């Protein structure tokens, strides 16, 4: 859920319970406590707050958390992603490494939030992977390659030059001969 969705629910509850307007800074403080709540649950939570309370809740974040936990138990099949500074909230770490003069892309599960559901794929953090020589992939590699490197890559794919010759012309940084950690 983002702060705008939460703000809309707060305003709906303010109108429903005929309460005075809640200030922006108060909404921001409340949001810090419940930012992990899934957007999918908001309408259900708002309905339960209206159904179970005679007036605006005294501590809205506590009530929202309680109802979110209840909603999560009722809906165990729905994946509840939460914010994670390590992976961005999807549970996956995308990395690349040059090994034997060839670039390898790899995916790991985030060991900070553990949101990715794939037990056969190893868990890690970016800091741990960087110690093994991996680099974080933050954009499309083709966007950062020079035109000459792109042309060389196209020639290799088209079979105009051999892969070994073509790879020697692309600067991948320092070559490392150590073993892959996983």
Model confidence pLDDT, tens digit, residues 17-54? 999 999 999 998 998 888 778 888 899 999 999 999 99
pLDDT at 82: 65
Q: Which two tokens stand for residue 6?
A: 């939460």
**pLDDT value for 164:** 60
Task: Identify each DSSP E strand in 100-161 by its residue range.
Answer: 102-110, 123-124, 135-136
For 18, 107, 109, the CA distances from 95, given in Å and listed in that order, are 52, 6, 11
Helix 42-52 vs helix 3-16: angle between axes, to the nearest 10 degrees? 20
> Predicted confidence band at 169 (pLDDT cuts at 50, 70, 90)?
low
Residue 182 — pLDDT band, cuts 50, 70, 90? very low
- Confidence at 88, pLDDT banded by 50, 70, 90: confident
Q: Which among 151, 180, 153 has a CA at the least distance from the CA of 167?
A: 153
Q: Which two tokens stand for residue 5?
A: 């969705």
* Residue 177, SS3 per DSSP: coil
Phi, psi (deg, nearest 5) at residue 143: -75, -20
How are beta strands 102-110 and 123-124 bridged, if at all? parallel
Report helix, strand or coil for 104.
Answer: strand
Give the three-state DSSP class for 115.
coil
Return the DSSP state at 120: T
93-150: pLDDT as tens digits: 888 887 777 778 888 888 888 777 777 889 999 999 999 888 887 655 555 556 676 6
Distance CA 38, CA 2 (A): 9
| C-beta neighbour count of 49 within 10 angstroms | 20
């Amino acid at each position: 859920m983002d702060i705008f969705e939460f703000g809309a629910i707060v305003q709906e509850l303010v109108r429903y319970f005929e309460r005075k307007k809640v200030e922006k800074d108060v909404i921001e403080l409340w949001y810090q406590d419940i930012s992990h709540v899934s957007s999918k649950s908001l309408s259900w939570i708002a309905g339960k707050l209206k159904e179970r309370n005679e007036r605006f809740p005294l501590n809205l974040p506590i009530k929202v958390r309680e109802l979110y936990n209840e909603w999560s138990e009722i809906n165990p099949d729905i994946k509840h992603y939460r914010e994670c500074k390590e992976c961005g909230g999807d549970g996956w770490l995308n990395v690349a490494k040059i090994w034997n003069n060839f670039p390898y892309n790899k995916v790991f599960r985030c060991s900070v939030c553990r949101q990715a559901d794939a037990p056969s794929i190893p868990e890690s953090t970016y800091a741990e992977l960087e110690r093994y020589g991996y680099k974080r992939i933050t954009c499309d590699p083709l966007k950062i390659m020079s035109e000459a490197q792109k042309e060389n890559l196209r020639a290799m794919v088209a079979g105009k030059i051999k892969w070994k010759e073509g790879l020697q012309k692309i600067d991948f940084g320092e070559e490392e001969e150590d073993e892959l950690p996983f």
